[in-house]
Structure 1
Amino acid sequence: MSLTLYAHPFSSYCQKVLTALYENGTAFTYRVLEQEDPEAGAEWARLWPLKRMPVLVDGEHPVLESSVIIEHLDLFHPGTARLLPADPKAALGTRMMDRFFDNYIMTPMQTIVFDHLRPADARDPYGVARAKAQLDDSYRWLDGAMAGREWAAGGAFSLADCAAAPALFYADWVHEIGAAFPHALAYRARLLARPSFARAVEEARPYRHYFPPGAPDRD
């Protein structure tokens, strides 16, 4: 069956799925959700009225939510790189790390980004401070977890690394990881060097002006 992905190159959750697709060289039709293609946007809204990216369509079946999309690919369109271990216990560990990156890196990062979209008189300094504190706690935990590991789940590149790549990429832009967390920093660098994620980063480069706090001149 053919695969169609409705996504935007600059979206962190879209990059998560794109990394999985590129990791295995999976063939798909890319419907970029940009103003230049209103038809793609209309199709996407019909598929998922909540209008959250990305959406994968497998044949005629829409698949929603980034983690579920990657597991769907691993089950029904597997490549040489299996993104979820076959062993149930190891798979739980991989899923836990996936949730860590989405909930404790991606979510506070987005809190900071979205605050920049608020009117000046509606900003939430307290909420931003809490988000930065949570990122510091998450960086500290991750730094310990990554000591002696190459990839997030401790083995091969997996679903967890697909989640980690855009989460750490953008989180460091809004609240730098810093030299106090050398293992987390080295892991972020390995993710940026991974060809599958590097491709997603390059495809998103023309859209960096979209980043509300302003994209740094690096990466």
Structure 2
Amino acid sequence: MQLIGMLDSPYVRRVAISMAVLGLPFEHRNLSVFRHYDEFAKINPVVKAPTFVEDDGTVLIESSLILDHLDHKVAPAQRLMPQDPAARLHALQLVGFALAAMEKAIQQVYERHLRPAERQHEPWVDRVHAQMHAAFAQLEALIANREGWLCGERLMQPDITVAVAWRFTQFMLPEAVDAARYPALAAFSERAETLPEFIATPLD
């Protein structure tokens, strides 16, 4: 199995950490969708990270679809998404808001770091900035006053995705999100980042 993409993408990083937690060996190919476009296109003509290549050559894209596939390569008790319907619904809620925060953070990074200043559209930037904060506010409320992991006694997909979303935003947009505004998220991410699977999969 191969995972294609750089770890500065939160989508790539959530897959890489999840594979480590699941105990699934894989080859990581650290290709950029910008700097290695032609090489990436030979693997996936869409040039989208993450790209996952199964042992039989099947190519998957979109991190959530890749993770769903990987979850079904292990026994139910090892899966990173809960099997109980109520617990799964709660997990999907957490993952959804975390993915929204990631998306809105990435849009700001692209606008601020890749688009020339004279072509930046401030009303749109303000909108995605507000949407990112709305997602983090939802997550803060959902995880505040919780002890342990978010869906039980072990690390699962909501834990990974929430922690990765927060770390990415703090790393790429430190001026945009004050950690003091979201103390539960900051403490949760800090705890997750001390785990071996996170340390072995650094953002930078």
Give 1:187-206 correspondences, 5 Å limit.
187-201=188-202, 204-205=203-204
Give the TM-score of the pair, scaled to structure 2.
0.84
**2:49 is the alignment partner of 1:53:** yes
8 Å contact from structure 1 (residues 6, 33) kept in 2: yes
Match of residue 94 from structure 2: 97
Which amino acid letter does the alignment assign opposite residue 49 of structure 2?
M
Match of residue 164 from structure 1: 162
Unaligned runs of 5+ in 2: none
Give the TM-score of the pair, scaled to structure 1.
0.78
> Could you tell me how far apart the structure 2 residues matched to 1:177 and 1:187 are?
15
Q: Cα gap change, 1:178/1:29 in structure 2, threshold over 3 Å: closer, same or farther?
A: closer
Give 1:93-132 correspondences, 5 Å limit.
93-103=90-100, 105-116=101-112, 117-132=114-129
1:88 to 79, 85, 89: 85
8 Å contact from structure 2 (residues 163, 188) kept in 1: no
Match of residue 76 from structure 1: 73
Which amino acid letter does the alignment assign opposite residue 194 of structure 1?
L
Identity of aligned residues (%): 26
The alignment covers a number of residue pairs equal to: 197
Mean Cα deviation higher: 151-160 or 17-26: 151-160
> Could you tell me how far apart the structure 1 residues matched to 2:59 and 2:142 are?
35
> Could you tell me how far apart the structure 2 residues matched to 1:144 and 1:93 are?
13
Q: Cα gap change, 1:142/1:27 in structure 2, threshold over 3 Å: closer, same or farther?
A: same
Unaligned runs of 5+ in 1: 206-219
Give 1:137-216 correspondences, 5 Å limit.
137-149=134-146, 150-153=148-151, 156-173=154-171, 174=173, 175-201=176-202, 204-205=203-204
**2:130 is the alignment partner of 1:133:** yes
Which amino acid letter does the alignment assign opposite residue 198 of structure 1?
I
| 1:8-62 C-alpha deviation (Å, 9 max, x unpaired) | 1222111010110121332112222159x96x953x4244322111111112222
8 Å contact from structure 1 (residues 24, 79) kept in 2: no
8 Å contact from structure 1 (residues 54, 66) kept in 2: yes
> Could you tell me how far apart the structure 1 residues matched to 2:75 and 2:8 are?
25
| 1:147-172 C-alpha deviation (Å, 9 max, x unpaired) | 23233445532122222222111222
8 Å contact from structure 1 (residues 165, 197) kept in 2: no
Q: Cα gap change, 1:78/1:15 in structure 2, threshold over 3 Å: closer, same or farther?
A: farther
Match of residue 63 from structure 1: 60
Which amino acid letter does the alignment assign opposite residue 107 of structure 1?
E
| 1:105-160 C-alpha deviation (Å, 9 max, x unpaired) | 11111121011211121012222222222233223222221123233445532122
8 Å contact from structure 1 (residues 95, 159) kept in 2: no
Q: How many angstroms does 1:184 deviate by? A: 1.7
| 1:174-211 C-alpha deviation (Å, 9 max, x unpaired) | 1224323221221121222222122211xx43xxxxxx
2:7 to 6, 9, 19: 9
Q: Cα gap change, 1:131/1:100 in structure 2, threshold over 3 Å: closer, same or farther?
A: same
> Could you tell me how far apart the structure 2 residues matched to 1:188 and 1:61 are?
33
